A and B are shown apart, each in its own frame.
Chain A
Amino acid sequence: MNTAEIWIIIIGLGIGTFLLRYSFLAREVAFPEWARRLLRYTSVAVLPGLVAPMVLWPEATGGAVDPARLGAAAVTVAAGIWARSTFIAILAGGVTFYTLLWAL
C-alpha cells in the first residue's frame, strides 16, 4: 500500500460510512420489514467469517493451528455468552491467551 492508496481507503471508507449513517436521517422513508430483518444480522454475518481463518490458521504461527489461540477464542465465546458482556469476554480471552502462551 502506498500513501495515496491508504488515503483513498480512509476517505472512501469515511464517505461511505457517513452515507450509511445518514441514509435514514436524510429523510423519513418507510423501511420494509424483510430488509430490517436482513440488516439485523450484518455484524454476526460478516465478523465470524472474517475471524475464523485468523483463529484456525494464524499468520503469526505461519498458518499452523495453535492451541493457545484456539483455547482463547473458545473461552472468549463462552465468557461473552455467559456474562453477556463484551468487556468481560475480552478480559477472559486475553487472560486465557497469555496463560496458554506462557504455559505451552
Chain B
Amino acid sequence: MTSTRKALWQGFIAVSPFLLVVAPFAILFGVVATEAGLDLVQIMGFSLFVVAGAAQFVALQLAGENAPLAIILLTSLAVNLRLVMYSAAIAPYLQGTTLWQRLLIAYSLTDQSFAVTVADAERHPRTLSNRLAFYTGSAVPLLMIWYGFTLVGAVAGSAIPPSFALDFALPISFIALLAPSLRSLPHVAACSASVAVSLMLTFMPYGTGVLVAAVIAMIVGSQTEVWLKRRARA
C-alpha cells in the first residue's frame, strides 16, 4: 500500500464511528423536511448546498413558524459560526494547497472531518499530500452518507405515521450533540445562560430571543473560561 493510500484509509477509519450518527441524522432531516412540505429537489438542494445538519434543521424549524427570511438566514448562520473557528484551526495544516483544493476542503468541512483531521495532525507529522489524503478519506464518506441518507429520509418520510412522534427527534439530536461537551464548566455556564435567557425572551417574535440568548451565552462561556484560567494561576 502506498503511503497516500494508507493515509486515505486512516482518514476513513478515523471518521467511521461518526458515520453511524450522521446516517440517522440525515434520515431525520429528509423526514422532517418532507413533513414541512418541501419537495425532493429542495430537500436534496439543502443537503448538497448547505452540508450542515444543525443549521438545516434550524432553517426548517423557523420556516415552519413563518419567520421572515432575514431571521431564518441569520439564526441558521449563527449556528454555523463555529465553522469559522474550524477554518482558522485547520488552515495552518493546509499550507501550500492549491485554490481548488482549498475550495473543496471549505465545501466539505464538517464537525467530524475537522475533528479527526486536526486530532491526527497534532499527533502525526505527514507530508501535505498525505494530510490531504487523510482529510479526503474522512470527508468523502461523510458527504456520501449525508446525501444518501437524506434521500432515504425524503423518500421514506411520507410513509412514517404521526404516532411515531418524530417531532422530538430533533430536540433529542441537538441535546445529544451538546451533552458530551457539558463536562466543562464554561460549556455548562454558556448552556445554562442560553436556556435561561431564551425562555425569558420567548415573547420576542420568530426566535429572535434565541439570537440575544446566544450572544449572552457566548460571552458567559468565554468569561467563565477566563475566570477559571485566572483562578488556576492564582
Q: Residues on A close to B: CB < 8 A?
A: 1, 3, 5-14, 16-18, 20-26, 28, 31, 34, 36-56, 58-60, 69, 72-73, 76-81, 83-87, 89-90, 93-94, 97, 101
Contact = CB atoms under 8 A, between A and B. Distances in A.
Interface in B3-20: 17, 20
B127 to A, nearest CB: 19
B102 A1 contact: no
A35 to B, nearest CB: 9
A42 B81 contact: yes
A41 B222 contact: yes
A83 B205 CA distance: 37
B87 A25 contact: yes
B168 A97 contact: yes
Contacts of B109: 21
Interface string B27-53: 000000000011000100110011110
B218 A80 contact: no
Nearest to A46: B214
B154 interface: no
Nearest to A14: B49
B59 A45 contact: no
Given A21-B87, A87-B20, A49 B179 contact: no
Contact of B221 (A36, A40, A56): A40
B208 to A, nearest CB: 11
B234 interface: no
A72 B174 CA distance: 13
Nearest to B182: A81
Contacts of B225: 37, 40
B160 interface: no
B171 A73 contact: yes
Which of under 10, 10 to 19, 20 to 34, or 35 or more describes the interface residues of B? 35 or more
A36 to B, nearest CB: 7
B78 interface: yes
Given A8-B69, A17-B55, A72-B172, A49 B210 contact: yes
Given A16-B73, A37-B225, 8 more contacts: A6-B42, A20-B81, A21-B106, A25-B91, A45-B217, A46-B214, A53-B199, A93-B176
B118 interface: no
Contacts of A9: 59, 63, 69, 72-73
A56 B222 contact: no
B165 A90 contact: no
Contacts of A25: 87, 90-91, 94, 102, 105-106
Interface in B73-96: 73, 75-88, 90-92, 94-95
Given A6-B42, A21-B83, A49-B217, A13 B76 contact: yes
A76 B222 contact: no
Contact of B190 (A6, A16, A34, A41): A41
Contacts of A24: 84, 87-88, 91
A70 B95 CA distance: 48
